Amino acid sequence: MVFKGVIVFAACLFISRQQTCIGMERQERLLLSDPQAVQSQISTLIQKVNALHTEMNEEVDSLKTQLTNQNKEMSYLRGQISALSQQLNSQGSTFTVWGKNTCPKVNGTEMVYNGITGGKHFTEPGNGANTLCMPHDPEKLPYDVSVINGDDFAHLYGAEYQFSIHRVHIQEDVPCAVCRVKMASSSVMIPGKRTCPTYWRKQYAGFLTASWHNYQSTEYLCLDDDPDFIEGSRRDDNGRLFYPVKSVCGALPCPPYENNILVSCVVCSR
């Protein structure tokens, strides 16, 4: 209270109106000594504090409501992200790299398993028409089957290269790897190309292979540019044989194709 009086008095001296200042000082003292005036000021302050407290409570409640709504929205978005991730992981696309023990080092591509290439014998007209990637750790059936005659079975053989390239030599066995592209819904082998269409990702490029033209027919398969081989397999066991494929002009137009030229290939995913 004394400090407030000093301020009032100093203000009076500054404006050089002593009589007026004395009057102001007396009025201030009168107000300070008046219990009703003090009580009125206290009541006013209490009302202001209560109003401020109410305003703060309302603001806090509003912030709590906003936070609750944001948490619900975040929880919903997390659920959406989880659902999308599961959907992406449940899709994907698989393909086989012929002649390799590993999958391409492309982002989003993983190996399912690797193994040994198998198929029909080049001299046998029957058996399966497709080529298989046989795993290194086969599991036996827990039962047997009955047939009419003792030899009523199809046959499955391993595969051998019938050419030499890079590290690979004739008669060595052909490895394979089954791969999965996580962020893709389809994959395709394109013969005669080394690049992929727009918006497609190249998994690997190579050259086309099949059985020799005078042997039993097999699939056309894309062998990797830099094939591997199975160690210790340089023995002439025959079976499913891999030969390079060359183009023949005629119904296959030349140009754009050329006669007696090795056919390229590429595997793409999207």
> Do both 101 and 172 map to the same domain?
yes
pLDDT of residue 27: 54
Least confident interval from 14-18, 26-30, 82-86, 266-270 = 14-18
Q: Percentage of residues in the chain with pLDDT exceeding 90?
A: 61
Q: In one letter, which amino acid is 129?
A: A
**Which distant-in-sequence residues (6+ apart) come within 8 Å of 25 by Cβ?**
5, 8, 9, 12
User: Among the three residues 73, 89, 105, which one is the final residue of a domain in this structure?
Assistant: 89
For the chain, the residue count is: 270
Domain assignment present for residue 143? The answer is no
Q: Is the pLDDT of residue 28 over 80?
A: no
> pLDDT digits over 45-66, tens only?
898 899 888 889 999 989 998 9
pTM: 0.68
Fill in the DSSP letter of residue 173: B
Domain assignment present for residue 149? The answer is no
| Total number of domains constituting the chain | 2
Q: How far apart (Å, rounded) are the C-alpha atoms in residues 222 and 104?
A: 14
Higher pLDDT: 22 or 39? It is 39
pLDDT of residue 10: 42
The pLDDT confidence band at residue 114, using thresholds 50, 70 and 90, is: very high
> Do both 17 and 105 map to the same domain?
no
Give the structural domain span for 52.
Answer: 2-89
Q: How far apart (Å, rounded) are the C-alpha atoms in residues 91 and 83?
A: 12
- What is the maximal distance between C-alpha atoms in the chain? 137
Higher pLDDT: 88 or 195? It is 195
